[in-house]
């Protein structure tokens, strides 16, 4: 059985970019507190898969910068330096799901206003003991 590869039209590529951008924004809202903290692992897997894939027009980097470039997104707790560190850490991690999950969990704690709390210290310390 042969598989034919159809070239996407410009309109189809534009729709895919819009959909991917909306997907990233929704994932970041979930990481930021829309979902329970124990549900961020699938979102880390999504980011890892998108980071491994190749997209024209900047792909994941552009989508992350576009979404996180908005003030107070995904929450007011996430400052520009947190966002920049998150983007850089996500983009450099293309192989280790564990390291990316740690990055996502830490950003989730920042977005929820929990960084610097005893809970955050215990959560991050437990992740380091497991690794």
**Rounded Cα gap, residues 94 and 41, in angstroms:** 15
Q: What is the three-state SS of 113-131?
A: CCCCCHHHHHHHHHHHHHC
> pTM of this prediction?
0.80
Runs of H (alpha helix) within 1-131: 10-29, 41-52, 59-68, 80-92, 97-111, 118-130
Q: Tell me the per-residue pLDDT of 8-44, one tens digit each, with 9 for 90 and over.
A: 566 555 555 568 889 999 999 999 999 998 899 999 9
Q: What is the pLDDT of residues 59-107, one digit of tens each?
A: 899 999 999 999 999 999 999 999 999 999 999 999 999 999 999 999 9
pLDDT at site 58? 76
């Amino acid at each position: 059985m042969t598989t034919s590869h159809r070239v996407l039209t410009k309109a189809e590529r534009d729709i895919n970019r819009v959909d991917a951008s909306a997907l990233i924004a929704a994932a970041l809202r979930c990481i930021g507190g829309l979902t329970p903290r124990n549900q961020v692992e699938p979102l880390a897997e999504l980011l890892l898969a998108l980071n491994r894939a190749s997209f024209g027009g900047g792909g994941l980097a552009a989508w992350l910068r576009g979404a996180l470039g908005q003030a107070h997104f995904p929450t007011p707790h996430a400052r520009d330096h947190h966002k920049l560190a998150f983007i850089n850490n996500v983009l450099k991690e293309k192989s280790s799901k564990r390291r990316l999950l740690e990055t996502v969990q830490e950003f989730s704690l920042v977005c929820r206003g929990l960084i610097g709390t005893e809970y955050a210290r215990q959560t991050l310390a437990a992740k380091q003991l497991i690794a």
